[in-house]
């Protein structure tokens, strides 16, 4: 799963080198997060994953190619591919993008992971304005709730 989060993980070893586009940290949440659970095997950590950007995507776009849910393999995406990169071991990623509207995904277990939208049907929306670098931390949620 992927969500926009305000939680940050330090990326001091990675340097922002883009002048326009998106950057941030890919974070994995793992373990037992059930209310009342006392577990030492839970937390968040930065992870290395591929980050994909496509043209702005709707849930209907995704359900047309996968009626069982919104998780789609990159080669089955019904909208134009824009760019991809890999995050570092510290989870840091950056992608140079021109001004525009996009959708951003994490590749996990062969599928593009998403679980949030903007309330208007757009999945993982990302808007870049001219000359803007936008920080978007991505959460890969493998936790139990």
Q: Read off the pLDDT of each residue in 121-136 and give the average, rounded to a whole number.
A: 93
Query: Which residue is associated with the tokens 């990623």?
Result: 93
Residues 6+ apart with CB under 8 A from 21: 94, 95, 96, 97, 128, 133, 134
Provide φ and ψ at 140, rounded to 5°.
Answer: -95, 110
pLDDT digits (tens, 9 = 90+) for 12-69: 468 999 999 999 999 998 888 787 766 677 888 999 999 999 999 988 887 777 756 6
**Of how many residues is the chain composed?**
145
Residues 6+ apart with CB under 8 A from 53: 22, 81, 82, 83, 84, 95, 97, 102, 103, 104, 105, 126
| Token pair in block for residue 57 | 């995507």
pLDDT at position 134, please?
Answer: 96
Q: Kindly report the pTM of this predicted structure.
A: 0.82
Integer Cα distance of 145 and 132 in angstroms: 36
Q: Read off the pLDDT of each residue in 114-133 and give the average, rounded to a whole number.
A: 87
Percent of the chain at pLDDT above 90?
A: 50
When the pLDDT of each residue in the chain is averaged and rounded to a whole number, the result is: 84
What is the set of domains in the chain, with CATH numbers? 2-8+20-144 (2.60.40)
pLDDT at position 92, please?
Answer: 98
pLDDT at position 114 over 80 = no
CA neighbor of 70 nearest in space, from 79, 80, 59, 78: 59
Q: Read off the pLDDT of each residue in 99-118 and give the average, rounded to a whole number.
A: 88
pLDDT at position 108 over 50 = yes
């Amino acid at each position: 799963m992927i969500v926009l989060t305000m939680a940050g993980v330090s990326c001091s070893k990675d340097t922002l080198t883009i002048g326009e586009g998106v950057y941030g940290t890919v974070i994995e949440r793992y373990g037992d997060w059930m209310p009342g659970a006392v577990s030492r095997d839970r937390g968040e950590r930065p992870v290395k994953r591929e980050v994909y950007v496509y043209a702005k995507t709707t849930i209907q776009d995704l359900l047309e190619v996968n009626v069982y849910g919104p998780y789609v393999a990159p080669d089955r995406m019904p909208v134009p591919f824009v760019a991809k990169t890999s995050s570092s071991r510290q989870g840091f990623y950056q992608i140079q993008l021109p001004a525009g509207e996009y959708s951003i995904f994490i590749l996990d277990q062969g599928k593009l992971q998403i679980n949030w939208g903007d309330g208007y049907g757009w999945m993982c929306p990302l808007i870049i304005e001219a000359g803007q670098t936008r920080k978007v931390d991505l959460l890969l949620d493998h936790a139990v709730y």
